[in-house]
Amino acid sequence: KEWQPLSFHFRHKYEQGYRYLDHCGEFMVRAELERGFVAGDAQPTGAKMDHPDNGTHLELDSNGLTMRQESPSDDGKAFLENVVGISQLASELVKPNHIYYSGLAAKLIMLFSSEAEVFAASLRFGLPYHDQLADSLGMSPHMQELTYDFSAGSYEFQVALKPVAFNSVKRDVRRNYGFRSTENQRKNVDRWNALEDSRNPPQGYALMLETDLREQNPPEGALPQQFSALQKYIEVLKGQFRLPT
């Protein structure tokens, strides 16, 4: 059994990010021209944009910046590139008084063919207290969810392992050209449809491994190092939460 990447996530939290209200339009124009994002929604409460080529979504408001990428296929290289570029652009325009929180997270899944298999797999990990408690209760272990919290220096790291069921799969619909579409609008529709055609959302049952690496008061330019640390920790977890093929 192999762990497969499901999604990457990023968040910056701002103190006094109110200049977002003055520079939302400029941010969205430059995110489109410089980074290839497409505007989804522009509101006084937040900007929403998507990158059709790699499925990255971003939201920016006065509280901070969030980004996520579904079904990454390149070990997060495109995600990190977009996170670094967009976060620098947001900081340049919003000029928050302070970025007091930086979070990078990843979700991975290990697929199974049945509910019974994924429940049994969840019992393979963790400490023996589950079995001991079951004996004390006169019952049999059924499944388990594990949560761990660690810290080192300025990093805090949370890990969760749990069974999940993909009983409904949300997919975007293919898009069509509108009347009198511009060349750029048609190009973006083609990009969206190419992304949709390439998607293969998970179905059935899985163990989900959730990882979340947080840093309070991150130094400037720390994102590549933080992402590298997250990837290193993920490799360690893959070795710990391993099942035979």
Instruction: Write the secondary structure of 190-231 as one string of H (helix), E (strand) and C (coil).
Output: HHHHHHHHHCCCCCEEEEEEEEEEEEECCCCCCHHHHHHHHH
pLDDT digits (tens, 9 = 90+) for 186-224: 887 887 777 776 666 677 899 999 999 999 999 999 999
Return the pLDDT at 160: 98
Residue 63 lies in a domain: yes
Q: Is-contact 232 116, C-beta < 8 A? A: no
SS3 annotation, the chain: CCCEEEEEEEEEEEECCCCHHHHHHHHHHHHHHHHCCEEEEEECCEEEEEECCCCEEEEEECCEEEEEEECCCCCCHHHHHHHHHHHHHHHHHHCCCEEEEEEEEEEEEEEECCHHHHHHHHCCCCCCHHHHHHHHHCCCCCCCCEEEEEEECCEEEEEEEEEEEECCCCCCCCCCCCCCCCHHHHHHHHHHHHHHHHCCCCCEEEEEEEEEEEEECCCCCCHHHHHHHHHHHHHHHHHHCCCCC
Query: In angstroms, what is the C-alpha Rg of the chain?
Result: 21
Residue 170 lies in a domain: yes
How far is residue 188's CA from residue 36's CA, in Å, rounded to a whole number? 10
pLDDT band for position 103 (50/70/90)? Answer: very high
- Into how many domains does the chain fold? 1
- Find the length of the chain: 245
pTM metric for this prediction: 0.88
More reliable by pLDDT, 16 or 187 = 16
Residue 245 lies in a domain: no
Residue 175 lies in a domain: yes
Q: Is-contact 212 105, C-beta < 8 A? A: yes
Residue 227 lies in a domain: yes
Write out the residue range of the structural domain in which residue 141 sits.
4-240
pLDDT digits (tens, 9 = 90+) for 23-46: 999 999 999 999 999 886 556 567
How far is residue 64's CA from residue 9's CA, in Å, rounded to a whole number? 14
